[in-house]
Structure 1
Amino acid sequence: MSTFDLVVYILFLIFVAKLQFVSCRGSFSSDPSNQQQLDKVLDLPGQSFNVSFASYSGYVTTNKESGRALFYWFFESVVDPSSKPLVLWLNGGPGCSSVAFGLAEEIGPFHIEKDGKSLYLNPYSWNEVANILFLDSPVGVGFSYSNTSSDLLSNGDERTAAENLEFLLQWFDRFPQYKENDFYITGESYAGHYVPQLSQAIVRHNHNTGEKVINLKGFMVGNALTDDFHDHLGRFEFMWSVGLISDQTFKRLNIVCDFESFIHSSELCEKVQDIAEEEMGDIDLYSIYTPPCKANFSRPNHPQSGKRKFGILRIAYDPCTEEHSTVYFNLPEVQRALHVQDKSPSFKWETCSDLVSDNWKDSPRSVLKVYRELLRSGLRIWIFSGDTDAVIPVASTRYSIDSLKLPTVGPWRAWYDDGQVGGWTQEYDGLTFVTVRGAGHEVALHKPKQALTLFKSFLSGNSMPKLDLFSDS
């Protein structure tokens, strides 16, 4: 054999070996249980500490024809994940990332330092007591994407619910060890639509298949967009009652915006809200008693609910966490560690997408009809509200709950955390309402300890804690 023939033969063998490797890897990836291992996060940049739990991140394709794929990040419970419930967290917008808010600012185990490169542990993470699954939904949000660009211009409530259901069905195939665990859905803000709509889709899917394909036990939403009329009514009343707006603007808001859509409001309603914005000055409507972030950081023009221009803030610590998240999740090494779909040169990550929000299609004026259906299904349903939020304030949520006309089974009372009033609660037939004192729109951001107490009570199905009286004897 000549030298030339030998070289050709060797190259042929290398080519065949590569084909076999690609073939093996492809079949390995297509196996759901094997894909689970491929999704495992092995080396997270900025993590200088050890943890006792595993996390997984990656994509689930929800529509092969269009190439729509949703990004998730899953954290096992700190202790005995096999016996703990599985909880899905959804943020709203529409167009805001659950990784940006729920995970990195609120209930996730890892939060981001000021340098935008380092992580620290959240001592009040909800994975202390449950397995937590964060989902960026719909496509165009966070790391979720579509190969069909027009998909980002056609998102809406109906398709989001259907694809979130498809995501879950495939995710449970990839993680079959959690199929029998109690499953709950939680979220906040515009997830006041997503959470009950997805719950409804699951209940109907289980009914249509004749079996409990997904072991849904209940859902909980916070500062949730629920009913446009009641949400506007309570919002304007709250802003006026705490002295944020004038009598005249309060009256004009009620006249012009009372029956308007939160997502598709009229130009006239927007103009009156602009007047209200000027009267309120440079404050954060999501947490009216805390200072805003003064960093040179421009946030996309929507707040998880509605279309106002106010930033997300913190109490007691750094108010600019959103800026730090933007730095961290745009680091190429972070995206590689999280198995983000290859982009060139890298995936541009945003906390919220104006493209998704501005082009949102169907958004029903109310989801109270969904509540009425689900209240008959036996699910555990809780609604909570931070009482310093002026976007979807306590008053809005109380108006919506009152309209359901549910019998009261536990009267209005204070609940306690470490001997201090944590908020107030009332129990209805089929629904529990809880307020969190001093918390803004993102309850777990401002009151993380109290939020964990709330979460534990929800999972256990117990009433919120009462004051424990101790004697010296």
Structure 2
Amino acid sequence: MSTMIGRRPLVALLAVLTLLLRQAAATAAAASGYAADRIDRLPGQPAVDFDMYSGYITVEHSAGRSLFYLLQEAPEESQPAPLVLWLNGGPGCSSIAYGASEELGAFRVRPHGAGLFLNDYRWNKVANILFLDSPAGVGFSYTNTTSDLYTSGDNRTAHDSYTFLLKWFEKFPHYKYRDFYIAGESYAGHYVPELSQLVHRNNKGIEKPTINFKGFMVGNGLIDNYHDYRGTFQFWWNHGLVSDDTYHLLNRSCLHDSFIHPSPACDAALNVSTEEQGNIDLYSIYTPTCNVTATNSSASRRHPRGRYPWMTGSYDPCTERYSTSYYNRPDVQRALHANVTGAINYTWATCSNTINSNWRDAPSSMLPIYKELIEAGLRIWVFSGDTDAVVPLTATRYSIEALGLPTTISWHPWYDVQEVGGWSQVYEGLTLVTVRGAGHEVPLHRPRQALVMFQQFLQGKPMPGHNTNGTLS
């Protein structure tokens, strides 16, 4: 009894301290200017124990380029947690549409955009997750200069994203000096290392940089044109998706081409492969496609130019349709503080075909950046769902092999509740993780295993072995 009596004042004190901390945070928010970006509640949203913010950061005033963000904070009991920026690829696809709404975000969208339900394996359980629609013209991000939509490329995207970060940290000053990571998938295999390189180089010579950059992770991402093509075609042939003749044709026609700007000969070979593959979901070859009419087929949306399965970076049996319905709702846009100026006078879309079809600079390889950032001692993880045929595991393995890194932990299975979750190999400066049975969007297909992986990444620990069970903290 005496123990219980002694605890009551302590509990009351903790409650008062918690209240004071929340009040202090609210005061700081008001002072810093981000209070206006706080989301009270999204339409159809369940009750949650974490805060969310969304809004715009102008990255180029003369052109009127403004990037839209969504921040889903970790719960109070998990703070102070790291800050992680998530980027989807395309180029031209929305991180709100994919990362936030069908992968690692706090919510999933109900059919017909009727509302939201909680994602049990949301990554903001262990980190503050910042989703960014980039470049301008993607999702809710916009530009007042029409030509921007036809001149986007890797370089401007990286610099605009870096400007966004600098201004965002000024708006959210309590995140300055917090451990910061960058993550993404698909064509973000370019975005993530390019932005990481900018942050790293601009941090040089600063004793305590505002952006306390610790490392990055990339999933099923483009790394190197030659090795990615080589591994992709091999995966297609090994899984019976193309004939022997087409496999040889692809290798002859495409191996030295660009993914974004293929030659006419490569283009023709890719069209032949598309015909042979048939109506399957290359982003997840063993799962069904969305049962929609031929006039609005998943294939036509996923292949906006009739070819290049890697171009949109999206998985959809039907979830993409739900997001389209939800984010075009006026009440949803008001709750998100999106399109407040009316600059988006068009239907919100998960991906911009205009940006995708007119992409400019796209370096052939990220390997030099990997080498630079490995040498800098940053934490670098590459992960791959092994049923993806868009940027398959074989492509990623060839690209990593080209780095010539010594192995520190040999290829081995990792476990989640006594089941093999995938395999991993640790190199000097880089960790490779595969996720068994996952497609292009790993957190969508294997949400629990993806969260286990994410926790291990944040902790800088190898993937769990058989005896550690891979339990979620």
Partner of 2:328: 330
1:394 matched to 2:396? The reply is no
- The separation in 1 between residues aligned to 2:437 and 2:208, in whole angstroms, is 43
**Alpha carbons 1:291, 1:313 under 8 Å: kept:** no
Q: Which amino acid aligns with 1:425?
A: S
Distance change (3 Å), C-alpha of 1:301 and 1:140: farther
Which of 22, 42, 45 does residue 43 from structure 2 map onto?
A: 45
Q: Which amino acid aligns with 1:122?
A: N
Q: CA deviation at 1:301?
A: 3.3
Which of 300, 303, 314 does residue 301 from structure 1 map onto?
A: 303
Partner of 2:453: 454
Q: CA deviation at 1:268?
A: 1.6
**Alpha carbons 1:439, 1:447 under 8 Å: kept:** yes
Partner of 1:255: 252
Which of 174, 177, 180 does residue 177 from structure 2 map onto?
A: 180
**Alpha carbons 1:32, 1:173 under 8 Å: kept:** no
Distance change (3 Å), C-alpha of 1:272 and 1:414: same
**Alpha carbons 2:235, 2:389 under 8 Å: kept:** yes
Q: Which amino acid aligns with 1:204?
A: R
1:70-89 equivalence runs, <5 A: 70-80=67-77, 82-89=79-86
Q: Which shifted more, 76-85 or 34-43?
A: 76-85
**Alpha carbons 2:89, 2:313 under 8 Å: kept:** no
1:87-116 CA-to-partner distances (Å, cap 9, x unmatched) read 000000000000011010100001101131
Distance change (3 Å), C-alpha of 1:130 and 1:302: farther
**Alpha carbons 1:33, 1:175 under 8 Å: kept:** no
**Alpha carbons 1:330, 1:347 under 8 Å: kept:** no
1:167 matched to 2:169? The reply is no
**Structure 2 alignment gaps of length 5 or more:** 1-28
Distance change (3 Å), C-alpha of 1:273 and 1:33: farther
Q: CA deviation at 1:33?
A: 4.3
Q: CA deviation at 1:306?
A: 4.5
Aligned residues: 434
- The separation in 2 between residues aligned to 1:172 and 1:81, in whole angstroms, is 20
- The separation in 1 between residues aligned to 2:304 and 2:400, in whole angstroms, is 25
- The separation in 2 between residues aligned to 1:169 and 1:83, in whole angstroms, is 20
1:280 matched to 2:277? The reply is yes
Distance change (3 Å), C-alpha of 1:309 and 1:360: closer
Q: Which shifted more, 184-193 or 111-120?
A: 111-120
**Alpha carbons 2:270, 2:308 under 8 Å: kept:** no
Q: Which shifted more, 336-345 or 154-163?
A: 336-345
Structure 1 or 2, whichever has the larger Rg, is 1
Partner of 1:120: 117
Q: Which amino acid aligns with 2:281?
A: D
Q: CA deviation at 1:307?
A: 4.8
1:46-65 equivalence runs, <5 A: 46-47=44-45, 49-65=46-62
Q: Which shifted more, 227-236 or 146-155?
A: 146-155
1:277-307 CA-to-partner distances (Å, cap 9, x unmatched) read 111111011100111001244525359x945
- The separation in 1 between residues aligned to 2:323 and 2:91, in whole angstroms, is 19
Which of 82, 87, 91 does residue 94 from structure 1 map onto?
A: 91
Partner of 1:36: 34
Partner of 1:17: none
Q: Which amino acid aligns with 2:413?
A: A
- The separation in 2 between residues aligned to 1:87 and 1:146, in whole angstroms, is 25
Identity, % of aligned pairs? 53
**Alpha carbons 2:257, 2:263 under 8 Å: kept:** yes
Partner of 2:7: none
Distance change (3 Å), C-alpha of 1:155 and 1:73: same
Secondary structure of the 2:66 match is strand
Q: Which amino acid aligns with 2:274?
A: E
Partner of 2:435: 436
- The separation in 2 between residues aligned to 1:467 and 1:166, in whole angstroms, is 44
Secondary structure of the 2:408 match is strand
- The separation in 2 between residues aligned to 1:301 and 1:84, in whole angstroms, is 38
Partner of 1:134: 131
1:154-213 CA-to-partner distances (Å, cap 9, x unmatched) read 111011111111000000001111112100010000000000000000011111656423
Distance change (3 Å), C-alpha of 1:117 and 1:243: same
- The separation in 2 between residues aligned to 1:452 and 1:302, in whole angstroms, is 31
- The separation in 2 between residues aligned to 1:311 and 1:70, in whole angstroms, is 20
Q: Which amino acid aligns with 2:303?
A: N
Segments of 4+ moved more than 4 angstroms: 31-34, 208-211, 305-314, 344-347
Partner of 2:219: 222
**Alpha carbons 1:139, 1:146 under 8 Å: kept:** yes
- The separation in 2 between residues aligned to 1:46 and 1:311, in whole angstroms, is 27
Which of 210, 215, 231 does residue 213 from structure 1 map onto?
A: 210
Distance change (3 Å), C-alpha of 1:234 and 1:269: same
RMSD of equivalent CA atoms? 2.0
Q: Which amino acid aligns with 1:334?
A: V
**Alpha carbons 1:284, 1:311 under 8 Å: kept:** no
Which of 136, 143, 146 does residue 146 from structure 1 map onto?
A: 143
